[in-house]
Amino acid sequence: MDQLNITLSLALLLSIGFLAAKAGNLIKLPSVTGYIFAGLLMGPSGFHLVPAETVGHQLNHFTQIALMLISFGIGEHLEIKRLKSTAKSVGIIGLGEIFGAFILVFIGAFLVAQLSKVGLSSWQITEYAVLALLLGAVSVATAPATTLHVIRELRAVGPLTTTLMAVVAIDNGLAIMMFGVAVSIAHHLMAAGNGSITTAIAASLMEIGGSLVLGITAGLTIDFVNSKLKNQGEMLTAGLAILLLCGEVAHFFNFSPLLAGMAAGFTIVNRDHRDLRLFRALNSFEPPIYVLFFTIAGIHLDLKTLAVTGVLGFTYFLCRAIGKIAGAGVGAKLTASPQAVERYLGMALVPQAGVAIGLIFLISNDEALRDFASIITPVVLSGVVLSELLGPILAKQAVSLAKEIPVPSKNNDLAALSLDNQESSPAPTGVPMVPWTWKKLVPPYTQDGVVIFGANHIATTRALARMAAIFANYYGAYPMAVRIVSAEDNKPGAPDKKDIDIIMTAKTETATMGMELYTVTQQSDDTALGILATARQNRARGIVLGHCQKMTPAVFQKVIGEVASQAPCPTIVIKFTGILHTERILVPVINIHELHSVKDAVGALAIAGQHQITLLQLLPSYETETAILKAEKNLQRWAEQEISCKVIQCRAIATDARQETITDEAENHDLVIMAAPRMHGFQRLFFGSLAHAVASKCDKTLITVYPPAT
């Protein structure tokens, strides 16, 4: 049978692969084992239902799609904020288990391959060294999906679990890089010494660099496009199209598609607004692709070759497992990690599947290494079968021995605050506002500076005056309206009616609230410099800015950037939307440290009237129920220590899309307060800004607090 209709081939691969996996599940075998076994039955070693020619010529593109999805998924687990706290220990442990597996597999494969005389009769020490080098590089990869599935299923929590998830996250990224270097060295050795090892490594590093740049570009593009879409189907279509285009461009320039895909996933997960909806959309698309991928891998498994390389396959599996366990143990000991990590972490790193299979496909498609692929493929696949049989069992045993499987507990949700809608009426001009009906504010006996606000446009002056008065009351200061005028406009004579109206509007509002207003006119041709000069001359405690209709958004952002980067006090930027309420306030944060940036803003509103404040911490979607409850307790503790207000609700939510979650939660609130990112230049370009993303989507008034310049 030379060729088979592609539709019939797909039907056979999917149906038989699915049935084999279900049969395997009945005897507690992982699904991937069933897929590989199904491919074995359909391939040359079984009933020859799907010839290798059909797989090579017609189904190869499914393999390429699966490889991009696998590498993209690896990038999701490389979140900098998640890895930062344990970077040193995780890095040393990761290097320990990686080099442990590589060195033992290299030595074991080199010796066994020579003794058993696998390969061509013309092979010399150089060819055996290349074989051992490639097997060592492939052995580094683990199976993140298998390991993480066990952890999530058991709801495990503890030092071992935390370290394991971090190590698994970086493991496959390093594996892909190491594989690229190994292939370059192998090409050099097979070229009879043409060129130097240094040249080969330099070329490999250039390939890695190009792959990373391509992947980061693809990730930023996906993130930008998907931020404009809401429908999950549209996000899946656009994201997958860009991801596959990234893979094809990588092939064209001889870059690594795996590394590019991983960099794309890494870029998206580390953006400030951390929108992971594409990853979740791909979850519904991946299953049939993965069935095809692993089943095709089984078709490549030739039992005749496996019989010859059986000893080498067992050696590969045994050396890899020992290397992982011993290397992780040594790394944990060097970093003084908890005893559970030192003893049991390596056991949970034994599973190996997707990435390793992807790497052997890359070897199979490399003309220079084609002779090695016929040996490496059955060796690695036999190791995969053994590791997928024993790996999940060992991972479960490791977590159990570490005593990190929690006892089920009930989640006592905090009761939501009952809020009554308040009648509102628009202000006579500008931003519509709820009238001030609370107790009047008391001016300070001893002035402690001022809170300045821009008073250059009638549309925003009244609202800014109210907010500045609230902040001034908190600081024991006075509100100050500042008008920035150019030398051309600042001519002698009586002020025009527009200027009088603006100042009178501000004074009327602050007087209603019980505060006295100071006013000043600052001459400057540069708005930002004029505001900064006023702040320095009058010992400003805060600067309140709102968008002026005279300015384009780009100009306004430029003013904000200049002021915030040089201001001696916090800069409070307000985007007014709809009627200005301040009764129900949402304060979303990524981590509890951000609360220090917004503390004054929350405290000022808390003491000014009967405000109902919700502190909301956004956690990654992988966090457990225990972690959510702990985060809520930490928020409550912070509120009790820092804010003298009894109407604060503390919540934590595990989410895949931060921006979407905040905008949804804002629907039940009147005002949102957020901390501005402490990033500039390239950092800002790469990571983005959650506050700015929310500002572009949220239909509630948003206060963004920038810390004082350091």
pLDDT tens digits along 147-185: 655 665 566 767 787 777 678 767 766 777 788 778 878
Note whether 620 and 82 are within 8 A (CB).
yes
Locate 293 and state its tokens.
């991928």
Inter-CA distances, 443 with 285, 516, 706, Å:
62, 7, 26
Closest residue by Cα to residue 136 from 100, 185, 95, 94: 100
- Reported residue count of the chain is 710
- pLDDT tens-digit map of 181-229: 788 788 777 765 544 566 666 766 787 788 889 999 999 999 888 888 8
Q: Output the DSSP codes for 13-60.
A: HHHHHHHHHHHHHHTT--HHHHHHHHHHHHSTTTT-SS-HHHHHHHSH
Pairing of strands 648-655, 612-620: parallel
* Tens digit of each residue's pLDDT (9 = 90 or more) over 248-276: 898 888 787 878 888 898 899 888 777 77
What tokens does 416 get? 């939501």
Q: Which long-range contacts (CB under 8 A, 24 or more apart) does 15-18 make?
A: 16/41, 16/42, 16/49, 16/295, 17/291, 17/292, 17/294, 17/295, 18/291
Bigger pLDDT: 3 vs 466? 466
Q: Which helix (H) or strand (E) holds 65?
A: helix 60-76
Taking the CB of residue 688, how many other CB atoms lie within 10 A of it?
24
Chain centroid, CA 36 distance in Å: 32
- Summarize pLDDT for 651-688 with one digit per residue, the tens: 999 888 888 899 889 888 889 999 987 666 555 666 66
Two structure tokens written together for 9: 């081939």
Q: How many whole angstroms separate alpha carbon 271 and alpha carbon 685?
A: 9
Asked if 42 and 301 touch (Cβ cutoff 8 Å), the reply is no
Two structure tokens written together for 122: 């013309």
User: What token pair was written down for 186?
Assistant: 């192998």
**What's the rounded mean pLDDT across residues 541-559?**
75
Domains observed in the chain: 6-401 (1.20.1530.20), 450-575 (3.40.50.620), 584-698 (3.40.50.620)
Q: Which whole-number Å values give the CA distances from 15 to 34, 35, 97, in the listed order?
A: 12, 10, 38
Given CA atoms 335, 151, 30, 365 in this order, what sign does their dihedral have? negative
Between 81 and 434, the higher pLDDT residue: 434
| C-beta separation of 486 from 524 below 8 A | yes
- Angle of the 354-364 helix axis to the 125-139 helix axis, nearest 10: 150
Buried b / exposed e along 402-420 (16+ C-beta atoms within 10 A): bebeeeeeeeeeeeeeeee
Q: Exposed (0-12), middle (13-18) or buried (19+): which is 458, by Cβ within 10 Å?
A: middle
**Per-residue CA distances from 604 to 260, 413, 460, 464 (Å):** 47, 28, 20, 14
Do 434 and 425 meet the contact criterion of CB atoms below 8 Å apart?
yes
Give percent above pLDDT 90 in the chain.
Answer: 16
**Backbone dihedral angles phi then psi of residue 483, each to the nearest 5 degrees:** -110, 125
Edge to edge, the sheet with strand 540-546 lists 518-523, 478-485, 450-454, 540-546, 571-575, 701-706, 671-675, 584-589, 612-620, 648-655
Residues 187 and 182: their CA atoms lie apart, in Å, by: 9
Question: What is the average pLDDT score of the chain?
Answer: 80
Q: Which amino acid is at 159?
A: P
Element (DSSP H or E) covering residue 76? helix 60-76
Q: Do 442 and 514 contact (CB within 8 A), yes or no? A: yes
Q: Which residue, among 469, 478, 691, has the nearest Cα to 589 in the 3D structure?
A: 691
Spatial separation of the C-alpha atoms in residues 515 and 575, rounded to whole Å: 23
* pLDDT for position 587: 94
Q: What DSSP designation does 420 have?
A: P
Contacts for 124 with CB less than 8 Å, ≥ 6 apart:
none
Q: Residue 467 — pLDDT band, cuts 50, 70, 90?
A: very high
Paired residues of 649 in beta bridges: 614
pLDDT band at 398 (very low <50, low <70, confident <90, very high): confident
Average pLDDT over residues 92-116: 90
Lowest mean pLDDT among 84-93, 410-419, 566-575: 410-419
Tell me how far apart the alpha carbons of residues 218 and 215 are, in angstroms, rounded to a whole number: 5
| 268 vs 223: CA distance, rounded Å | 6
